[in-house]
Amino acid sequence: MIHRYHLDDYYMVLDTCSGGVHVVDEIAYELIGLYESKTKEEIVAELSQRFHEDPAEVAECYDQVAQLKEKGQLFAPDTFENMAGELKARTSGVVKALCLHVAHTCNLNCSYCFASQGKYHGERAVMPFEVGKQALDFLVAHSGSRRNLEVDFFGGEPLMNFQVVKDLVAYARSIEKEKGKNFRFTLTTNGMLIDDDVIDFANRECSNVVLSLDGRKEIHDRFRVDYAGKGSWEQIVPKFQKLVAARGGKNYYMRGTFTHANPDFLKDIQVMLDLGFTELSMEPVVCAEDDPSALTAEDLPIVMQQYEDLARLMLKRWKEGRPFTFYHYMIDLTGGPCIYKRISGCGSGTEYMAVTPWGDLYPCHQFVGEEKFKLGDVWHGVENTGVRQDFADCNVYAREECRDCWAKLYCSGGCAANAYHATGSVRGVYKYGCELFRKRMECAIMLQAAMQMEGKGE
Amino acid sequence: MKHIQTLDTRNLCESAKNGGCGECQTSCQSACKTSCGIANQQCENKESK
C-alpha cells in the first residue's frame, strides 16, 4: 500500500508496510500512481507526452520504481496481520504504566474538561498515600521483566494532593533498585499551585512535565477559569516560565487544547513561542458532539490549514536556528517503534491502566467513571478479564475501517476512548480524529523530508 | 537522472525479526492524553535498530 501527497514543493510517496519514505519529482509521482494498473509501455507513452519528456527518461524513472519495489521499499505487501496481537499475547498480564488519579478535584472549572472538572462524573476525592503505594506495588508485581515503569500523576489537578505525590515518589525510589526497576514519573498540571517546592520536585523527579496552556490569553481564559469565573492565564504563565527556565533542558510540554473557539490554533502556538516555550502540544478537544466547544465540519478545513502552516513555520524557524517541537510532528523515521508496537495499539487496558483515588483500575484515564469498563482494583488486580480481553483484541487489524488506511502503522488503530465515544464501541473509528491524524502525519513526514533534504536533518 | 530520493527509515519488515521487547513508552502517557499515535515514540531497544 502506498500513499502519495504533495505539500508545497515536496512530492511525497509513503510505503505503508515497509515504512519507506520517498521524495520524488512530478514524473515519478505520477508514475508510481500508475505503476500497478498499467504496463511499462503504456506508462512511458502517457507520461512522456504529458510532461514533454524523453521516453527514455520516463523509462529510466520506471526502472527506478521497479528497483525500489524489488528491494521491498515500494508496494511492500502487508504481511503483518498474523502478528497482530502476538505481542499482547506474549506479554499478557504485564503492566508497565499507570496513570494515578491522585486528585479527582480541581482548582479550575474548565467547562470543556473531559474529566468534568476533575471529578470524572463522580464525587470529589483525593488519593490517600496507602492507595497510591498499593498501586505502585501492583505495578511492580505485574511488570514482569519490564525495567522502565511509567507513572503519571494526573487529575483533576494532582498538585492539590502534592504531599502524597512526593511521598509516592519517595516510596518508589526506595524500592526501585531492589526490584530492578526504573520509574519514570510525569506530572500533568494546570500550573495554579506551582511554587519553588513544586519546581524543585518536578525538575528532580519528573522525566516529563505537561503544562496546560491554551495559548492566547482570551482563548485560554475563555475556558480555563477558577470557580469565581476568573481566567487563570495571568497567574500561571509566569509560573510556567519559571519552571521551564529551571528545567535545564529536561522534557516538558506546553499542552493546549483547541476547540470550536480557536480552530485557528496556530495563533496560540505563536503565543506560546513568544512566551519562550519551545516544546509544544496542541490537542483537539475531546467532548460530546453537541457540546458548544466541539469541533465542527466547518472547522475542519481551518484546522487542516493550521497543520500545514505549522509545518511551514517549523521549517522556517529550523532554518533560522530557532527550532521548536510539536508533539505530533515528532517522528523519528530511523528510530521509531518496531512493527509489533505499530500493530498492537496503544496499550490501554492491558499494559496501561488508570487508577482512581480509591484504587479502582480502568483501561485508561478517559474511561474512568464509565462503570462497565472497571477492570478491578489495585488490591485484587484485574478481575474483569472480559474487558481486558476486549482491549487486548484491539489492534490495527481489528478495525475494518483501518485495513485500507495508509496511516494505520503510524496510529496503530487510534484511541479506544475516542472510538468508544464516537461510535459506542472501542473497536469503532473516530473518523474526524482520523482525518486530523492523517493530516498531521503528512505534515510531520514532509517536515522530516524537508530537513533531511536540506542536509541538516536530525 | 534520479527521480526518487529515498529517506533513511527503519524497515518495518526487518523490525519484525527482533522487535517487540515492550520497553517503549506507553502511547499517550506523557503528553497528549486525548489522542493516540505511536509514530512519535522512540524505540528503547538499542540492539534491534
Contact B31 A60 (CB under 8 A): no
Question: CA-CA distance, A244 to A230, in Å (whole number)?
Answer: 24
Domain boundaries, given as residue ranges, for chain A: 2-76
Contact indicator for A347, A88 with CB cutoff of 8 Å: no
Report CA-CA distances (Å) from A44 to A35, A56, A66, B5. 10, 8, 13, 20
Contact indicator for A421, A294 with CB cutoff of 8 Å: no
Q: Report helix, strand or coil for A407.
A: coil
Q: Which residues pair with A185 in a beta bridge?
A: A151, A206
Nearest of A3, A9, A2 to residue A447 by alpha carbon:
A9
- pLDDT band of residue B31 (cuts 50, 70, 90) is low
Q: What is the mean pLDDT of chain B?
A: 79
Question: CA-CA distance, A434 to A414, in Å (whole number)?
Answer: 8
pTM: 0.94
B4 to chain A: which residues are within 8 Å by CB?
13, 22-25, 28, 61, 64-65, 68
Q: Any idea which residue has 522525566 for its cell?
A: A207
The ranges of chain A with pLDDT < 50 are: 457-458
Question: CA-CA distance, A261 to A266, in Å (whole number)?
Answer: 13
What angle (nearest 5°) sits at the alpha carbon of residue A401, between those of residues A398 and A403?
70
Q: ipTM of the predicted structure? A: 0.90
The grid coordinates of residue A141 equal 508485581
Relative orientation angle of helices A26-34 and A40-50, to the nearest 10 degrees: 150
Q: Write down the architecture of domain A2-76 according to CATH.
A: Orthogonal Bundle (1.10)
* Size of chain A in residues: 458
Question: CA-CA distance, A184 to A181, in Å (whole number)?
Answer: 10
Contact B36 A97 (CB under 8 A): no
- pLDDT band of residue B49 (cuts 50, 70, 90) is very low
Task: Inform me whether the pLDDT recorded for B40 exceeds 80.
Answer: no
Q: Any idea which residue has 482525518 for its cell?
A: A435
Nearest of A35, A38, A37 to residue A63 by alpha carbon:
A35
Contact indicator for A105, A156 with CB cutoff of 8 Å: yes
Helix and strand tally (H, E) in chain B?
1, 1
Comparison of pLDDT for B13 and B31, the residue scoring more? B13
Residue A182, classified by CB atoms within 10 Å of its CB into exposed (0-12), middle (13-18) or buried (19+), is: middle
Question: CA-CA distance, A182 to A146, in Å (whole number)?
Answer: 9
Contact B37 A440 (CB under 8 A): yes
Q: Which residues pair with A103 in a beta bridge?
A: A126, A155
Of B35, B39, B42, the CB nearest to A418: B35
In A214-261, where does DSSP find H-type helix?
217-223, 233-246
B47 in reach of chain A (CB within 8 A): no
Q: What is the pLDDT of residue A457?
A: 45
A411 to chain B: which residues are within 8 Å by CB?
36-39
Question: CA-CA distance, A197 to A202, in Å (whole number)?
Answer: 9
Q: Lay out the sheet containing B4-6: strands in order across.
A: A2-7, A10-15, A20-24, B4-6
Q: What is the pLDDT of residue A5?
A: 98
Of B4, B11, B39, the CB nearest to A28: B4
Q: What is the pLDDT of residue A458?
A: 44
